[in-house]
């Protein structure tokens, strides 16, 4: 079965180094919390808010060992007034036998405010 795994992180500036590091940190946390291999990943969708355009976050994902063949696509988040700025979001589609309640979604930085219910689950 394919399950979606969500995650988000925020940055404080629009620079390539910062965007790539924040994306890499987020992905490493998601992988560690859910214990899966790149071969089990069908695809990854990454979105960024309109204020982040210094780098493609997918570049950070492709540098993780074994992830160079995983399909990754970047897009711009819908610019809803009042939404969280400088935010990177990911949605991984992973083949797993885990039930939905055992999936660990990861929210870092200010992005914990996006889904406090899911962010709190990973702390317990």
* SS3 label, residue 116: helix
10 Å CB burial of residue 104 (0-12, 13-18, 19+) is middle
Predicted TM-score (pTM) above 0.85? yes
**pLDDT at residue 9, rounded to an integer:** 98
**pLDDT at residue 119, rounded to an integer:** 64
Gap between the Cα atoms of 119 and 123, Å rounded:
7
pLDDT for 70-96, tens place per residue? 999 999 999 999 999 999 999 999 999
Gap between the Cα atoms of 4 and 106, Å rounded:
12
pLDDT band at 115 (very low <50, low <70, confident <90, very high): confident
pLDDT for 25-48, tens place per residue? 999 999 999 999 999 999 999 999
Gap between the Cα atoms of 30 and 25, Å rounded:
9
pLDDT at 124 over 50: no
**pLDDT at residue 113, rounded to an integer:** 87
The answer to the question of whether 6 is labelled as a binding residue is yes
**pLDDT at residue 3, rounded to an integer:** 97
CA distances from 104 to 4, 8, 51, 119, 121 (A): 10, 12, 28, 9, 8
The answer to the question of whether 3 is labelled as a binding residue is no
User: Which domains does the chain show, CATH number per domain?
Assistant: 2-123 (3.30.1330.40)
User: Residue 4 corresponds to which tokens in the numbers above?
Assistant: 């979606």
């Amino acid at each position: 079965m394919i399950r979606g795994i969500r995650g988000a992180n925020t940055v404080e500036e629009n620079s390539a180094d910062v965007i790539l590091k924040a994306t890499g940190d987020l992905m490493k946390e998601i992988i560690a919390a859910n214990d899966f291999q790149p071969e089990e990943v069908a695809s990854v969708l990454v979105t960024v808010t309109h204020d982040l355009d210094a780098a493609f976050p997918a570049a950070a994902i492709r540098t993780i060992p074994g992830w160079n063949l995983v399909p990754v696509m970047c897009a711009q988040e819908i610019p809803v007034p009042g939404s969280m700025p400088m935010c990177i979001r990911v949605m991984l589609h992973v083949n797993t036998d885990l039930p939905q309640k055992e999936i660990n979604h990861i929210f870092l930085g200010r992005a914990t405010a996006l889904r406090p219910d899911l962010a709190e689950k990973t702390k317990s």
